[in-house]
């Protein structure tokens, strides 16, 4: 397989964008810490007590991990059933056997939903 100059340019542009993003993020964090340090020095000179602030802002709380399994199970099940219906309706008669290809994903979705509800009922 041969790559063109355009492919290389795209890779370089993506790499440069990533490096630029990391650099800007680092510079803004450093500038913020520098400002906090200067404010603390001025407050210490004046004798003003400052409350302790975290150096990093608080991150958004993570979503409830108990909701991940039923959501993933529902998505897998609904997408695979929809794909099976589309395969069954659109494929020619000689290829009708391919409608079962998404069946493992449907079983995986049903298994995740079942596991979630059985685990939830066992905790009562």
- Note the pTM of the prediction, 2 decimals: 0.49
For residues 69 and 33, membership in a common domain is answered with: no
Q: How far apart are CA 113 and CA 71, in angstroms?
A: 8
Q: How far apart are CA 28 and CA 32, in angstroms?
A: 6
For residues 30 and 80, membership in a common domain is answered with: no
For residues 72 and 31, membership in a common domain is answered with: no
pLDDT tens by residue, 14-29: 999 999 999 999 999 9
The CB-side HSE value for 74 (13 A sphere, CA atoms) comes to 7
Q: Cα angle vertex 59, ends 57, 61, to 5°?
A: 150
pLDDT tens by residue, 51-71: 776 666 667 777 777 788 899
Most confident of 38-42, 65-69, 73-77, 114-118: 73-77
Domain count, the chain: 2
For residues 15 and 35, membership in a common domain is answered with: yes
Domain stops at, among 43, 59, 75: 59
For residues 3 and 40, membership in a common domain is answered with: yes
Q: Could you tell me the residue range of the domain that residue 89 belongs to?
A: 65-122
């Amino acid at each position: 397989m041969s790559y063109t100059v355009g492919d290389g340019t795209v890779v370089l542009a993506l790499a440069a964008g990533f490096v630029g993003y990391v650099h800007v993020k680092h510079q803004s964090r450093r500038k913020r810490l520098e400002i906090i340090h200067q404010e603390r020095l001025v407050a210490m000179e004046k004798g003003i007590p400052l409350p302790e602030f975290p150096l990093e802002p608080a991150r958004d709380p993570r979503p409830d991990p108990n909701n991940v399994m039923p959501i993933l199970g529902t998505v897998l099940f609904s997408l695979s059933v929809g794909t099976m219906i589309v395969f069954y309706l659109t494929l020619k008669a000689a290829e009708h056997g391919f409608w079962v290809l998404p069946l493992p994903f449907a079983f995986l979705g049903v298994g995740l939903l079942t596991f979630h509800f059985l685990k939830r009922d066992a905790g009562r």
